[in-house]
Amino acid sequence: MTTTEHSQAPADAAPADPHRRRVLGWLSVVLGALSTVAAGVPILGYLLSPVLRTPTNEWIDLGPVEDFPEKQTRLVDFVDPLHRPWDGDSQRLAAYVRRAGPDVFQVFSVNCTHLGCPVSWFPQSGLFLCPCHGGVYYEDGSHASGPPPRGLYVLENRVANGRLSIRAGRLPTLQQPG
């Protein structure tokens, strides 16, 4: 005895609609392209930011000179002139101001010249110390000991109308220290 089997589609299954398939296919291509662009824009922005962020020569006000007593070193903070709206707290930069004489100011970047850790000022010993690898700098910013290849970066400063300001439109590097 032979049996014959027939595969039968359910009676209520609708026939495939080629037009609908094509529309769904295009929709998935468009959504895929949009999500690729959405994911790629921030990455592209990050990669191009060094080129797009042009240095500025803006003078940044640090306050009246009376805020900086002679023979003392003070930590100041200021807003990065190259900041973006989404930078949050990272837009605040810091520097050490040393008033060596009545009209002599030195302003140092807080970043160690070895790998960039923020240094701390210790007035008792008159030294800047880096917590990362033990770099030490004298009060005038020159290198005292440890791995840093040079002294602290010095930011250009000026006094006008009794107020101290600095040029801080770009971060110093070993290749371009000043």
Distance CA 112, CA 105 (A): 20
Does the protein bind ligand FES through residue 114 (CB under 6 A)? yes
User: Which residue of 100, 132, 144, 154 would you call a contact of ligand FES, by CB under 6 A?
Assistant: 132
* Count of positions on this chain that bind ligand FES (CB under 6 A): 11
Cα 100 vs. chain centroid, distance in angstroms?
30
Does the protein bind ligand FES through residue 152 (CB under 6 A)? no
Q: Which stretch binds ligand FES (CB under 6 A): 42-50, 100-108, 112-120, 166-174?
A: 112-120
Which residues, 6+ apart, have CB-to-CB distance to 63 below 8 Å?
A: 76, 163, 164
- 3-state SS, one letter per residue, for 67-93: HCCCCCEEEEEEECCCCCCCCHHHHEE
**CB nearer ligand FES, residue 146 or residue 172:** 146
User: Which residue of 147, 151, 169, 172 would you call a contact of ligand FES, by CB under 6 A?
Assistant: 147
Instruction: Return phi, psi of residue 124, to 5°.
Output: -60, -40
User: Which residue of 133, 142, 145, 174 would you call a contact of ligand FES, by CB under 6 A?
Assistant: 133
User: Which residue of 105, 108, 135, 157 would you call a contact of ligand FES, by CB under 6 A?
Assistant: 135
Which residues, 6+ apart, have CB-to-CB distance to 111 below 8 Å?
A: 117, 118, 119, 153, 171
User: Which residue of 112, 152, 164, 168 would you call a contact of ligand FES, by CB under 6 A?
Assistant: 112
Does the protein bind ligand FES through residue 84 (CB under 6 A)? no
Q: Which of 154, 158, 162, 176 is nearest to 58 (CA)?
A: 158
Q: Which residues bind ligand FES (CB under 6 A)?
A: 112, 114-115, 117, 130, 132-133, 135, 146-148
